[in-house]
Chains A and B, each alone.
Chain A
Amino acid sequence: MRGLARLGPLWQPCLLLALLGLLVHNLANWESLFRLVQPDTRQVIYSRDSFSYLLWQHLALVGLAVVGSLMIGLSAAILVTRTRGRAFLPLVNQLASMGQTVPPVAVLALAVPVLGFGNPATVVALLIYGLFPIVRNGIAGLQGIDGAVLESARGMGMSAMQILWQVELPLAAKVILAGVRTSTTFAIATAAIGSTVGARTLGDPIISGLINGNNAYVIQGALLIGLLAISLDALFSAVDKWLPSTH
């Protein structure tokens, strides 16, 4: 237990990720267990792709999309909170909050007529949808900083760039992180539905199980996706605790 305590807030995500790794590598060996769910079917373990391949594929899609939304969304948030871009602030803010009312599955569906089937369409849909929470939280975080703090930073002779990197972004980090966390949660869930537009993800066993009436496949996919989402969320929660509180 002392070892766990030394990991601090990280022990929870570490445990969950270890469990995820265990499941990914051993799910295929538990045939007799899944036989209970689906006694009459010849094959009860999803075998078109290995679970580890699907997990990495899922993670790659989510990772690419979230990094993309963070880069674009944060840049946009920074631009509209500078003096020169402030004219765009109300419009961008309003657009981001309206974007969040569009259901993610609709964004995914609309990406197909434009980009075709497969991984690129899924990544772009995840990226676009992920922008909204990051832009909103980015703007809220950067605007929530006490004006006196910025004034004193300027008084110390810091340049605009220094203020941005050494004062504003660190102070807004917690709020920005919350936006990234929301984006990631949506991305994991939507990437799973990406299986229907031809992306290879952990949603594959679920879709294939639903089409063929094989509940064992469905459970395998759902377990892994659920555990993936929970572990990453725990990881974000740990990082959030590790960041110094700004208020």
Chain B
Amino acid sequence: MADSRSDSVLPLLSLAAILSVLLLDYGSVQANRIVAGVGHSLWSALGSGLATLLLLSLLAILVLNSLPNLSLLTKLKLARLKPHRYSKLYSYTLLLFLLLQMPFGLAWFAAIQIPESQPFARAAPGAGFWLLLFFSFLMLLELQRSTAHRHWLGLGIGLSTLAAWWLCLQLGWLDSLALVREYRSQQGPFKQALQSHLLLVGGTLLLSALLGGLLTALILNFRSLQSSVFALLNFLQTIPSIALFSLLIAPLSALSMQFPWLQSLGIRGIGWAPALIALVAYSLLPMVRNCTVALQQVSAEVLQSAQAMGMNRVQLFFQVRLPLALPVMIEGLRITCIQAIGLTAVAALIGTGGFGNFIFQGLGQAAMDLILLGALPIIALAMVADYLFSAAAKYWQPGVSHD
């Protein structure tokens, strides 16, 4: 039985979306990379046909989901308004339309607003577009909350949206989009940035898993160490990343001056060496904390009954304790990975490459599209890592079979 109050969220979100596409610029056109863009309203950006369609679907979501709230009408016996049997299905369809039209709409916007005489002009989505995306995403989350099979549904909608963007990109319809222009001119560096970003994050994960595992084993065997190890790791976590990166520069460059063979390994004051050390230092807290908590929380009764079944110590660890602790340990990996993705971006300041490079170059040149080219992939990477590790934790939840 749906609580009537719980239905006020979707109408409010769709109202917010309507207001933001009506009141803010939906897109802008720049004559070249540096000049400020000229804003376009929803009508002039998409043309009256598509703009009306878009507004109507938002309005439809608003009305469909407000019906049960209009209790006054029901009381007055003017109408018998119940939530429509298929209102959720309709809302999903409308939302899917809103999400899928986005790349096509932008392509259409570029086609009608960029004159042939300006081959270097670029179109960019405006605040209205971004807010529409944001509110559509929120509506999707809210709809999903009360739906069965929501994970598959969410995955399906996400994949089909990605497919629509991919299709438009492949067909070359989005070529005059500012971000695409920027990407095309940075294709080589972009690939390199992705590679070095992933390499540094991967190295951090691997090293901190090894070191974290070692520290956890130490703590579990020598309980007295626990508080001092955590105090140290907490302390490290408090130091701002840029300060820790910087403080490692001088000692490492002194070391590499002293021992030239270190230089041949690429270990210098700047570059990947100080970054990796700092990243591992930051990663140890979530790693060790989650591993310790996970292994300690396996109840003594469970362990005793396993022992009574005749398991030896190795079996006990690998067949009972580890599987029970795995989800919380994976959660530690998730936190570590997301944190490392963000900190690697900061490490670009000390010359490690990665997507942070585009951000800081873009800030230096006041080139907003270059900033976006750095910031958006970082956010995307963090989201993907979050999704994958959360899914893994769920998969290895004890007591769930996967037949």
Binding site for B on A (CB under 8 A): 37, 84, 86-88, 90-91, 94-95, 98, 101-106, 109-110, 112-114, 117, 185, 188-189, 192-193, 196-197, 203, 206-207, 209-210, 215, 218-219, 221-223, 225-226, 229-230, 233
- List the interface of chain B (C-beta within 8 A of A): 3, 5-9, 127, 138, 141-142, 145, 235, 237-244, 246-247, 249-250, 253, 269-270, 338, 341-343, 345-346, 349-350, 356, 359-360, 362-364, 366, 368, 371-372, 374-375, 378-379, 382-383, 386
Q: Complex Cα distance A101/B337, Å?
A: 10
The number of inter-chain residue pairs (CB within 8 angstroms) is: 132
Nearest opposing residue in chain A for B349, CB measure: A210
| Shortest Cβ distance from B342 into A: residue | A103
For A229, list chain B residues within 8 Å (CB): 238-240, 243
In whole angstroms, what is the CA distance A114 to B127 when docked?
A: 9
Give Cα A197–Cα B362 distance, bound, in whole angstroms: 10
Q: B residues within 8 A CB of A189?
A: 240-243
Residues of A within 8 A of B343 (CB): 103
B371 contact set on A, CB distance < 8 A: 109-110, 112-113
Q: In the complex, which residue of chain B has the Cβ closest to the Cβ of A215?
A: B250
Contact of A226 with B243 in the complex, beta carbons under 8 Å: yes
A225, B363: Cβ atoms closer than 8 Å = no
**Chain B binding surface, main DSSP class:** helix
Known: A112-B368, A206-B242, A226-B243. A106 touches B142 (CB 8 A): no
A112-B363, A197-B363, A215-B250 provided; 16 other pairs, C-beta below 8 A?
Answer: A87-B7, A88-B9, A90-B142, A98-B386, A101-B386, A103-B378, A105-B378, A112-B371, A185-B238, A188-B240, A203-B242, A206-B242, A210-B350, A225-B242, A226-B239, A226-B247
B253 to chain A, nearest CB (A): 7
Smallest Cβ distance from A65 to chain B, in angstroms?
15
Contact, CB under 8 Å: A113 / B356: no
Distance between Cα atoms of A90 and B9 in the complex (Å) = 10
| Distance A218 CA – B338 CA, assembled complex (angstroms) | 27
Q: Which 10 A-B pairs have the closest CB atoms?
A: A103-B342, A189-B240, A222-B246, A222-B243, A109-B375, A113-B368, A226-B243, A225-B243, A106-B375, A218-B246
